[in-house]
Amino acid sequence: MNKAQANENMEALAEFGVTPDVITELTSSVDDFNALIGKTRTILSQKYAALNTIEELFDEGNQILKLNLDNSMLIYRKSQTEFYQRYQSARNIIDN
């Protein structure tokens, strides 16, 4: 049923709680959905680009940690053994 048909049958639809506002909202939702159907490929491309960017940023952040912070933490390896071990444990990534 389209909007015109719904409007023609508004009296019968009212018995089921369908109001003009409901028809307008539903029509708007259908229009929005139809507009998105053709964008699926674009949305997927954007998703993969974002995932690649995130992966690159994580790699970059990990390199910064390895080259800077991890090396700076070596001074605590013997003097603050427990602190150093906790740091090392925290640096281990658990990938579920």
Which of the four pLDDT bands, split at 50, 70 and 90, describes residue 94?
A: confident
Residue 76 contacts residue 83 (beta carbons within 8 Å): yes
**72 found inside a domain:** yes
Q: Note whether 77 and 84 are within 8 A (CB).
A: yes
Q: Which domain holds residue 24?
A: 3-37
Query: Does 96 map to a domain?
Result: no
Band (35; pLDDT cuts 50, 70, 90): confident
Which CA distances in Å does 79 have to 71, 73, 84? 15, 11, 9
Six token digits for residue 10: 């508004």
R_g (Cα) of the chain, nearest Å = 29
Residue 84 domain-assigned (yes or no): yes
pLDDT at position 61, please? 92
Confidence of residue 40 (pLDDT cuts 50, 70, 90): confident
pTM (two decimals) = 0.45
Domain presence at residue 27 = yes
What is the domain count for the chain? 2
